[in-house]
Chains A and B, each alone.
Chain A
Amino acid sequence: MLEIRDLRAGIDGKEILKGINLKVGAGEVHAVMGPNGSGKSTLARVLAGEESYSVYSGSITYKGQDLLEIPPERRAREGIFLAFQYPVEIAGVNNSYFLKSALNEIRSYRGLEELDAFEFLELIKEKMKIVDMDPSFLNRPVNEGFSGGEKKRNEILQMAVLEPQLAILDETDSGLDIDALRVVASGVNKLRSPERSIILVTHYQRLLNYIQPDFVHVMIDGTIVKSGGKELAVTLEEKGYDWIKGAPAAKAVK
């Protein structure tokens, strides 16, 4: 599904990712953990194709294609989805219109018929149940005036509608109280499937109590220094990131 090889990337000439190696298979859930500033979010945004980042060397292969050659909107149409750490508020653009535009662009790219307003409404009402969202959110501007929890739910709702093959959830747990975390995590769990890979980027282990990963990677200063199973997250929670610092960079994982 996804293979990252010796990826070096950064912004404004400053290298943030210093040789990332990561392989994600279909249906797998990988957690990428690390302290603040380790480059987790940069990795997430580079995968989604944010153009302000430069890739200096290395490669990303997604479904056999060179991902770095593909602009962000086409990555999305090819099935990549990034749940933002800070979902963007878009004044004057209604949530429902936004999502319908996105879904129809993806559908037409895939040679599927676009949904009309009625069909879309049927679909979205079903999907909203996954994250327990009130239909009134559909007619509000995208993320405007949403609480932190509502924004994150909205991200998962978008994921449910767009049905990605690779979802990257960037700090989806940050800023959530325990109830909101449960709703969001249960939404993600409902979306797990053998065809859908998920990368969870997170600082804390607590999200992983709700979403059980298949693999855990620890990222420090732009490299993945340790990889393992879900028990690695528990060790991290007990011992903190300090015990791992200074460990040699992991080469190819898995």
Chain B
Amino acid sequence: MRTCFYESSEKGKTSGGIHYLSAFQAFEKEYFAADPTWLNSLRKEGIESFRNLGFPSLAHEDWKYTDVRPIAQSLFQPVFAEPNGAVSRKDVESNSFGVSQWPLLVFVDGIFSEKLSCIPKKLPAGLILCSLRKAVREHADIVQAYLGKQKQYPQNSFAALNAAFIYDGLFLYAKSGCELDMPVHAVYVSSPKHENGLYQPRNLIAAESNTGIAVVESYFSFPAHEYFLNAVSEISLAKGASLEFCRVERESEKGFHISTTNAVQHKDSRFGSSVITLGSKVSRNTLQVFLQDGGAECRLDGLYVTRGNEHVDHSTFVKHESRNGTSRQLYKGILDDSSTAVFSGKVYVDKGAQKTDAEQANKNLLLSEKATADTRPQLEIFADDVKCTHGAAVGHLDEEALFYMKSRGIGAAHAQKILTFGFASEVIERLKLKPVKDEIDRLIHDRLDASSTGKM
């Protein structure tokens, strides 16, 4: 199906945003005086944009399969202070891939926690790692140069809502030539302290030329806890910069998780992204990559495992704007019970983007008759000398493979588990950071063991 990516917002608008307009007024009154004017302008633009857009309805082309009315109809409260004692060091440790050496930034309900974080005193020269809140005060020129400069999502109301309340998040800046030999781990934990909290971390990653960095964003929460997390990560990769980026989502079965990740890539830069979603009530991940200059490469992998009534929506947009760009996308989903998933991925190849090499694949494995997956791979190509492929599949476990395994003595339940894990392993194998890979491997095994249907 061909659709225009940027469409008019008139259709597909839903009500429910008024609450946030008054929340913004309170925010303005309390916090604007202490912050720089340019930041306040960004916030004002954000709320203005959100006022115009409202929450998207199912009539909106980009939100056709994800109903955000449960978000729009609730009154979530923005949070600007870390709740005391809500989260322990142990909670964080058990979600840290068994690694204690990585620079660690912990955000509780979207707010940086000095106490729980551990940023090494000695970092490579030229590397700045701190909370956005601190960066606004201490590195204002850099923040101002990058924050909110990516205007490529004018129609995204959630990104606009996030912009309106920019307050805290991860800040990582690498000066030219700077390399960090281990990943930065940013943990976003939703505490049980706030009823109906709205957490909006704003992450900024800017890598100057010929740098090499890795970032892991982990999202987790306490069980059966209701909240709305609306994160935005902005990534800028200068010439020859390389970023390995990984998102792991383990939200509450009652949590709403909306994320927007934007990456702009300059000449010969490399961006590797892995998004692992293992739970939330509704999760929508928008990932947009702009290969602005020649020779840029991106690899976008995704693995989603859903159960119960969970809903996961992955929306990717890769725009090849210049020559010799390469993009690889592989998203795989395992859906059980009555869960639903959506993948809509678009590869857009601009007129000048000759010799583009783009691949996109989405495969869904349904473990239950009631689970459904919608997949919409799309290509829009305006250059004539390109190599672009895309494919999508939705299916059940292969009966012949199951029989093959059973005929070797492997019990039916075990055979299903092995096959299902085999399906996931293609994405797991592509995870570049070993501790993350090992942990995801373990989590998927646990999940398959605990499958509520008892089929696996």
Interface of A toward B, CB cutoff 8 Å:
48-52, 71-73, 75-77, 81-82, 84, 87-88, 90-93, 97-99, 101-103, 105-106, 109, 141, 158, 162
Contacts and interface: CB of A to CB of B under 8 A. Distances in A.
A141 B107 CA distance: 41
B407 A49 contact: yes
B interface, over-half SS: helix
Given A73-B411, A75-B407, 20 more contacts: A49-B407, A71-B412, A72-B403, A77-B409, A81-B407, A81-B408, A84-B404, A88-B398, A90-B401, A90-B422, A91-B422, A92-B423, A92-B424, A92-B429, A93-B422, A102-B405, A105-B410, A106-B409, A141-B422, A162-B409
Contacts of A92: 421-426, 429
Contacts of B181: none
12 contacts: A71-B406, A72-B403, A73-B406, A73-B412, A76-B406, A76-B407, A76-B408, A90-B422, A92-B421, A98-B405, A99-B408, A105-B409
Given A72-B403, A84-B404, A88-B401, A102 B423 contact: no
Interface in B390-429: 398-401, 403-412, 414-415, 418-419, 421-426, 429
B408 A102 contact: yes
Nearest to B399: A52
B376 to A, nearest CB: 24
B409 A109 contact: yes
A81 B399 CA distance: 18
A52 B400 CA distance: 10
B15 to A, nearest CB: 46
A71 B407 CA distance: 9
Contacts of A106: 409
Contact of B407 (A48, A90, A91, A141): A48
A76 B409 contact: yes
B419 A93 contact: yes
A154 to B, nearest CB: 11
Contacts of B414: 101, 105
A92 B421 CA distance: 8
Given A73-B410, A73-B412, A105-B414, A91 B426 contact: yes
Contacts of A71: 406, 412
A123 B419 CA distance: 24
Interface of B: 398-401, 403-412, 414-415, 418-419, 421-426, 429
A105 B404 CA distance: 15
Contacts of B410: 73, 76, 101-102, 105
Given A50-B403, A92-B425, A92-B426, A162 B419 contact: no
Q: Top 5 closest A-B pairs, CB basis?
A: A92-B422, A76-B409, A92-B425, A102-B408, A93-B422
B105 to A, nearest CB: 34
Interface centre among B398, B404, B412, B415 (most CB of A within 10 A): B404
A253 to B, nearest CB: 25
B406 A72 contact: yes
Contacts of A93: 418-419, 421-422, 425
B402 to A, nearest CB: 9
Nearest to A168: B407
B433 to A, nearest CB: 20
Contacts of A105: 409-411, 414
A109 B422 CA distance: 25
A81 to B, nearest CB: 8
Contacts of B422: 90-93, 141
Contacts of B411: 73, 105
A158 B408 contact: yes
Contacts of B424: 92
B412 to A, nearest CB: 6
A209 to B, nearest CB: 28
Contacts of A82: 407
Contacts of A87: 404
A162 B408 contact: yes
Nearest to B420: A92
Contact of A73 (B409, B421, B425, B429): B409
Given A92-B426, A109-B409, A101 B418 contact: yes
A99 B410 CA distance: 9
A177 B72 CA distance: 66
Nearest to B423: A92
A73 B407 CA distance: 5
